[in-house]
Amino acid sequence: MNIYRKLLIGLIAVFFILAGTACSKSGMENKTLGKTKLIADKDKIYVGFMLDTLQDERWYKDKKLFEEQVKKLGAEVKTLAANGNSNVQISQAELLIAEGADVLVVVPYDADAAAKIVKIAHKADVKVVSYDRLIKNADVDYYVSFDNVKVGELQAEQVLKEKKSGQFAYIGGSKTDNNAILFRQGTMNTLQPFIKSGKVKFVYDQYTEEWNPDKAEENMRAALKQTGNKIDAVIAANDGLAGGVIHALTGAGLTGKVPVTGQDAELEAIRRVYSGKQTMTVYKPISLLAKKSAEVAVKAGEKKQIPTGTSIDNGKIKVPSILLDPIAVTKNNIKDTVIKDGYLQEKDIIKR
């Protein structure tokens, strides 16, 4: 990210913090919110799509697909990104509610801090759908995501196909993101018998602040130093972290020799999988997630009941949930997954 983009993100953050302060002072949290829609056709459902960030490649895909589906369903949508700042995200929620949003679809930056968004929204009779990441300790109306425990299981299963024993390192996501907790839970579900038998030893286990690849690289370097470069496998929670891990492994002359997992099927990660630098990634068909979430959002905005297949405990209630299946992607099935679905193009993956 260049200095100008960082400056722009900082200015946006300051704007929303100031705006949120002004909104709070003017009584944003009372029932008068959401009465006047600031959209052309006030009879349409108005959906506020609230992203944690647009700094990662995958969220641009979510934004595009979600917005297209909402409009196809006859509703209006506005997307805001908080760029990794809880105060900004709460202020954005207040602004969207003031503009007359009927429903907020939230990718929370901080799973616990976002509970305030639910509280503010419900005071204004606005529904809240938790998108991909679960908002904790709040009366969330619906949750649409992938089976995130299964993601961690898939990562561990693939590593065990490469290494059934040895010294393993875990480079997790941000501990403020509930998904990061679930990914690790899935990994441990699969590895526990191997750990108990002594075949696998966890020599490094660390979450990564803000899912930052640079922090992941620092953590991996620390793991290598701590073990004298004797790491047999690395489970990295997503592709960004995997990139940082692989950069550290490259410095130690271990690229391609140590299995490394990932998640999100980002283009650069798929290229690494194809070249053998990364062992696998987990493909979560974003088109399914975005479309299903858009359907749930519009129906929720219309105050319709939505059937769900399960519920997930968020610490306060069991949230009605729709969980989709993730897919493990290796070099052997790239063509049958991300290319077949049109998610990525073969010409972009294979550099000739």
Q: What is the pLDDT of residues 187-212, one digit of tens each?
A: 999 999 999 999 999 999 999 999 99
Residue range 148-284+328-349 forms a domain whose CATH class is: alpha beta
> pLDDT class for 35, splitting at 50, 70, 90?
low
Residues of the chain with pLDDT > 70, as a percent, come to 90
For 280-314, the pLDDT digits (tens) are: 999 999 999 999 999 999 999 999 999 998 999 99
pLDDT(14) > 50: no
Alpha-carbon separation of residue 16 from 96, 117, 217, 244 (angstroms) = 12, 15, 31, 31
pLDDT(5) > 50: no
Average pLDDT, the chain: 91
d(CA 154, CA 163): 14
Q: Among all chains, which residue has been given the structure tokens 């991300």? A: 338
Structure tokens at 242: 């995997």
For 85-111, the pLDDT digits (tens) are: 999 999 999 999 999 999 999 999 999
pLDDT(13) > 70: no
> pLDDT class for 235, splitting at 50, 70, 90?
very high
Rounded mean pLDDT, 307-329:
96
For 156-185, the pLDDT digits (tens) are: 999 999 999 999 999 999 999 999 999 999
Structure tokens at 237: 């929670």
Rounded mean pLDDT, 29-43:
65
Asked if 3-140+285-324 and 148-284+328-349 have one fold, the answer is yes
Please give the helix or strand (H or E) that residue 106 lies within, else none: strand 103-106
DSSP summary character for residue 164: S
Q: What is the pLDDT of residue 94?
A: 97
pTM value > 0.75: yes
Q: What is the pLDDT of residue 39?
A: 85
d(CA 64, CA 134): 21
Contact 105, 295 (CB under 8 A): no
Residue boundaries of the structural domains of the chain: 3-140+285-324, 148-284+328-349
Structure tokens at 18: 């100031």
Q: What is the pLDDT of residue 40?
A: 80
d(CA 2, CA 25): 35
Under CATH, which number does the domain 3-140+285-324 receive? 3.40.50.2300
Rounded mean pLDDT, 113-126:
98
Please give the helix or strand (H or E) that residue 129 lies within, else none: strand 127-131
For 239-264, the pLDDT digits (tens) are: 999 999 999 999 999 999 999 999 99
Contact 133, 312 (CB under 8 A): no
Quick one: which of 101, 92, 97, 93 has its CA closest to 44?
101
User: For the packed helices 178-197 and 148-162, what is the interaxial angle rounded to 10 degrees?
Assistant: 40
What's the one-letter identity of residue 285? P
